[in-house]
């Protein structure tokens, strides 16, 4: 009996320690009052951030920062200007960047014999490359300017970037759940010009995945029209490869030319970054800029690029890897089902798309929206005001129980 009590005491201390580590409080003062107040606020808000696609319990970078500061890496500039697939400069982490691309490329169905990519500054930067590369590829191979087709529920960065790149855009209507409607695509197509297709995976508020198979069938009815497909998979492209739904992001199964994924969403990198991955054929059909003082001709949009984010990505591959990401993805999808079940249990109207970790529901009071940092929208087809929760790694069953208690008490 005594031994059993001891065993449970050890377990409880371990759980408490893990909990403390998870939500550790600030212990070191900076000497700047304003900064210290802000640090405390960040620590308080973190467990209650339910409305945004951020992994707030990524602890795997603590070892990275220990290595970084112990070696005084903060005193260097590591700049990845240049092509990670070319000869990389001395103070560049380009060789790690290339390994990151080669680790992820097969997860999206690219072959490492025929891949090109880079660690981007964000999901938006990845979409910028997708749109720019797609436009150049279509212009080089057909001599014509493409038209961009994107759903009216896709992330706004896509419309902004088309505006920035001065492209013709057709916004294609989506259905109630946020998926592009194949018949609306058919009606919008101008087959006299090439088609630059952007597929949303998933859409920002409802977490909808465009049905690539059905939409590809529409495109296939027009073989005279050249097509480039870019996938905006900022959030879903992180976790889907680690689930049984991985075929949805496998270009061998669905067919696409490039993909953009954010590094600071599912993967939990603590500053904006991402992945852009495409094929050598697409790379070979870009506008070239031969820059003698850099390692190759520059096809990517930016000159200076962070050398630190590729190192963080590389570190996470070693520290978390397939096993850790599979566990995290499984937990997220289980907790998404749990959240829906609990909302249904209290009679709160809610909806979610297949394969999605986003649940949207009738908007609660402003106080609850603010307390849990929910994101809002409005759609008369679902009764008007809505909010959503994105079930990321820190949105555990306990966090969900706390949220449901608050809804019941409102």
What residue ranges bind ligand PLP (CB under 6 A)?
53, 122-124, 155, 157, 204, 232, 234-235, 262, 272, 274
Task: Pick between residue 88 and residue 308 the one whose CB is nearest to ligand PLP.
Answer: 308
CB of 25 to ligand PLP, least distance (A): 28
> Which residues fall within 8 angstroms of residue 399, CB to CB, at 6 or more apart?
47, 50
Task: Pick between residue 212 and residue 262 the one whose CB is nearest to ligand PLP.
Answer: 262
CB of 124 to ligand PLP, least distance (A): 3
Task: Pick between residue 150 and residue 225 the one whose CB is nearest to ligand PLP.
Answer: 150
Task: Pick between residue 47 and residue 207 the one whose CB is nearest to ligand PLP.
Answer: 207
Q: How many CB atoms lie within 10 A of CB 277?
A: 26
Map residue 186 onto helix, strand or coil: helix
Each residue of 175-187: b (16+ CB within 10 Å) or e?
eebbbbbbebbee
CB of 234 to ligand PLP, least distance (A): 4
**Could you give the C-alpha distances from 151 to 158, 210, 302, 303, in angstroms and in order?**
10, 8, 27, 31
Q: Dihedrals φ, ψ of 344, to 5°?
A: -60, -40
Cα-Cα end-to-end distance for the chain: 45
CB of 154 to ligand PLP, least distance (A): 7
Task: Pick between residue 157 and residue 184 the one whose CB is nearest to ligand PLP.
Answer: 157
**What is the per-residue DSSP string for 201-244?**
BS-TTT--B--HHHHHHHHHT-TTS-EEEEEE-TTHHHHGGGST
d(CA 52, CA 205): 10
**What is the per-residue DSSP string for 37-89?**
HHHHHHHHHGGG--SS---TT--TTHHHHHHHHHTTGGGS--B--S-TTSPPP
CB of 377 to ligand PLP, least distance (A): 13
CB of 118 to ligand PLP, least distance (A): 15
Task: Pick between residue 88 and residue 235 the one whose CB is nearest to ligand PLP.
Answer: 235
CB of 166 to ligand PLP, least distance (A): 20
Task: Pick between residue 111 and residue 271 the one whose CB is nearest to ligand PLP.
Answer: 271
d(CA 42, CA 30): 15
Which position's Cβ is nearest ligand PLP?
123
């Amino acid at each position: 009996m005594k031994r059993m009590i001891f065993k449970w005491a050890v377990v409880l201390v371990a759980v408490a320690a893990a909990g403390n580590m998870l939500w550790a409080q600030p212990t070191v003062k900076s000497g700047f009052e304003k900064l210290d107040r802000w640090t405390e606020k960040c620590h308080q808000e973190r467990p209650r951030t339910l409305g945004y696609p951020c992994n707030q319990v990524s602890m795997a970078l603590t070892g990275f920062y220990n290595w970084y500061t112990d070696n005084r890496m903060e005193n260097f500039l590591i700049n990845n200007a240049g092509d990670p697939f070319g000869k990389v400069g001395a103070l560049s982490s380009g060789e790690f960047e290339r390994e990151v691309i080669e680790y992820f490329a097969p997860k999206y169905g690219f072959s490492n014999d025929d891949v090109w990519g880079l660690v981007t500054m964000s999901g938006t930067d990845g979409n910028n490359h997708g749109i720019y590369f797609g436009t150049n590829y279509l212009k080089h191979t057909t001599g014509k300017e493409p038209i961009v087709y994107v759903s009216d529920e896709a992330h706004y960065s896509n419309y902004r970037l088309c505006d920035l790149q001065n492209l013709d855009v057709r916004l294609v209507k989506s259905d109630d759940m946020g998926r592009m409607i194949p018949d609306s695509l058919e009606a919008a197509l101008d087959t006299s010009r090439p088609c630059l297709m952007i597929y949303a995976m998933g859409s920002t508020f409802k977490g909808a995945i465009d049905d690539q198979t059905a939409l590809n069938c529409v495109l296939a009815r027009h073989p005279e029209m050249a097509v480039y497909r870019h996938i905006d998979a900022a959030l879903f492209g992180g976790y889907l490869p680690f689930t049984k739904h991985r075929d949805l992001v496998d270009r061998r199964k669905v067919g696409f030319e490039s993909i953009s994924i954010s590094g600071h969403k599912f993967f939990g990198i603590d500053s904006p970054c991402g992945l852009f991955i495409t094929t050598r054929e697409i790379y070979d059909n870009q506008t070239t800029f031969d820059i003698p003082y850099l390692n190759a001709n520059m096809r990517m949009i930016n000159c200076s690029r962070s050398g630190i984010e590729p190192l963080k990505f590389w570190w996470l591959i070693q520290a978390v890897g397939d096993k850790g990401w599979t566990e995290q993805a499984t937990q997220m999808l289980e907790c998404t089902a749990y959240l829906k079940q609990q909302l249904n249990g209290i009679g709160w109207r809610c909806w979610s798309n297949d394969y999605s970790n986003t649940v949207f529901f009738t908007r609660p009071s402003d106080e609850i929206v603010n307390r849990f940092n929910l994101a809002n929208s409005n759609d008369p087809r679902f009764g008007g005001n809505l909010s959503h929760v994105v079930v990321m790694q820190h949105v555990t069953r306990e966090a969900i129980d706390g949220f449901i208690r608050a809804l019941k008490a409102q």
